[in-house]
């Protein structure tokens, strides 16, 4: 018999967060989160997303054994301001037993119907900066700190429950050696002079901080037309600042400014923490933070996390400035492999940015939708 229990306290929330450690204990590809960070993400007193969202977390049991989990999320901005009547689900994990998945999703459907919502979609988080999408291809590639990993049978369970694919994302990689430096150097020289632009050159975190609010404003502006986009609030900006600042190598953040010192483009790259996170098994102390610090300084893999360009500068070659700067930084740090984190397949502006790179698609992931 399968029973569900809603998480109601911090102890149960930690159990919710750590269930995947049991489910994926034999996986070479699953990358664990930092437990304390994940608990904070799902805590109403820590994550400002709860100012505009309701979330319920459920654990599934067979007897005393935990066999699954799911989060049911209602984003009020999405519903009330964008008129998108979506019931979100995320943080779904379960053993390969369809009855477990059905019990968890029946609860999500119930909450959606009680709130007069039109459809369910996931896996997604609270906002665009959370993880989203279930892996559908590339199960034999190691995950990242910015994505969810899942067993292939999840997709079978979704389909059996009546879900249909909604949005698709791709993840790609390319070798540092294939970066077309000559082209970027040439275009960089032309564009910086023509539009009177200049790139940032940061070496310390404190140099980045004064520009982060402007970066988030540009993020909201440059991603506004995407079908998945929900604007990031001021409180969320502060939250994400604190959450990610320790993982960022300041040399891996590139801003482009115009002659009036207005930011018109940005890119954030993260060192890969995947192997380090597997070693520390979700714990920063007593020595986990040392492994992460080592990866921050010496990882040979770079993850392209976010790129944003002011719409006025689309198709004007501004990204050549960014890639020209990254080339110099990556060469200095002996980067070997570059990974493009999930991008919507219909984000044609992004596809255009990468057209000159020899990219190989290594993963695909999708969100799934079911009408209520």
Give the end-to-end CA distance of the chain in Å, rounded to a whole number. Answer: 26
Q: 346: pLDDT confidence band, cut at 50, 70 and 90?
A: confident
**Residue 63 clears pLDDT 70, i.e. is over it:** yes
Rounded distance between C-alpha atoms, residue 49 and residue 315, angstroms: 33
Higher-confidence position of 92 and 207: 92
pTM score, whole prediction: 0.90
Q: 228: pLDDT confidence band, cut at 50, 70 and 90?
A: low
* All domains in the chain, ordered by first residue: 2-170 (3.40.630.30), 173-371 (3.40.630.30)
Length of the chain: 372
pLDDT of residue 226: 64
Query: Based on the number of CB atoms within 10 Å of its own CB, is 63 exposed (0-12), middle (13-18) or buried (19 or more)?
Result: exposed
Predicted confidence (pLDDT) per residue in 81-115, tens digit = 889 999 999 999 999 999 999 999 999 999 999 99
User: How confident is the model over 195-207, as a mean pLDDT?
Assistant: 90
CA dist 44 → 63, 111, 129, 244, 245 (Å): 29, 19, 17, 19, 21
Cα radius of gyration rounded to whole Å, the chain: 21
Lowest average pLDDT, out of 21-35, 126-140, 172-186, 214-228, goes to 214-228
Looking at the chain, the whole-number percentage of residues with pLDDT higher than 70 is 98
**Residue 126 clears pLDDT 70, i.e. is over it:** yes
- Contacts of the segment 238-247: beta carbons below 8 A, 24+ positions apart: 238/48, 239/46, 239/47, 239/48, 239/49, 240/129, 240/216, 241/209, 241/212, 243/37, 243/40, 243/41, 245/205, 245/209, 247/145, 247/271, 247/273, 247/292, 247/296
pLDDT of residue 213: 87
Predicted confidence (pLDDT) per residue in 148-167, tens digit = 999 999 999 999 999 999 99
DSSP track, 292-325: HHHHHHH-SEEEEEEEEE-GGGTTTTTHHHHHHH
**Residue 303 clears pLDDT 80, i.e. is over it:** yes
């Amino acid at each position: 018999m399968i029973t569900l229990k809603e998480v109601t306290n911090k102890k149960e929330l930690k159990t919710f967060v750590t269930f995947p450690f049991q489910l994926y204990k034999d996986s070479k590809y699953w990358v664990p989160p930092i437990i304390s960070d994940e608990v904070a993400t799902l805590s109403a007193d820590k994550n400002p997303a709860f100012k505009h969202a309701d979330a319920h977390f459920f654990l599934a049991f067979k007897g005393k054994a935990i066999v699954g989990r799911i989060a049911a999320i209602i984003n009020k901005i999405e519903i009330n301001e964008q008129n998108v009547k979506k019931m979100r689900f995320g943080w779904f994990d379960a053993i390969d037993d369809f009855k477990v998945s059905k019990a968890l999703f029946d609860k999500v459907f119930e909450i959606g119907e009680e709130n007069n919502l039109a459809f369910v979609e996931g896996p997604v988080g609270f906002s665009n900066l959370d993880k989203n999408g279930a892996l559908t291809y590339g199960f034999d590639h190691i995950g990242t700190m910015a994505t969810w990993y899942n067993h292939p049978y999840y997709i079978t369970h979704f389909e059996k429950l009546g879900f249909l694919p909604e949005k698709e994302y791709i993840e790609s990689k390319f070798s540092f050696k294939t970066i077309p430096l000559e082209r970027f150097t040439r275009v960089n020289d032309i564009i910086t002079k023509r539009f009177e632009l200049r790139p940032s050159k940061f070496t310390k975190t404190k140099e980045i901080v004064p520009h982060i609010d402007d970066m988030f404003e540009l993020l909201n502006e440059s991603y506004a037309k995407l079908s998945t986009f929900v604007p990031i609030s001021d409180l969320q900006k502060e939250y994400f600042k604190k959450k990610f600042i320790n993982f960022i190598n300041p040399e891996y953040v590139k801003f482009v400014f115009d002659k009036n010192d207005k930011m018109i483009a940005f890119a954030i790259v993260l060192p890969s923490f995947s192997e380090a996170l597997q070693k520390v098994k979700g714990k920063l102390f007593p020595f986990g933070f040392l492994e992460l610090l080592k990866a921050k300084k010496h990882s040979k893999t770079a993850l392209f996390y976010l790129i944003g360009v002011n719409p006025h500068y689309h198709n004007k070659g501004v990204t050549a400035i960014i890639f020209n700067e990254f080339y110099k930084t990556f060469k200095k740090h002996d980067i070997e492999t570059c990974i493009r984190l999930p991008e919507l397949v219909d984000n044609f502006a992004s596809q255009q940015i990468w057209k000159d790179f020899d990219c190989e698609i290594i993963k695909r992931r999708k969100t799934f939708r079911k009408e209520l």
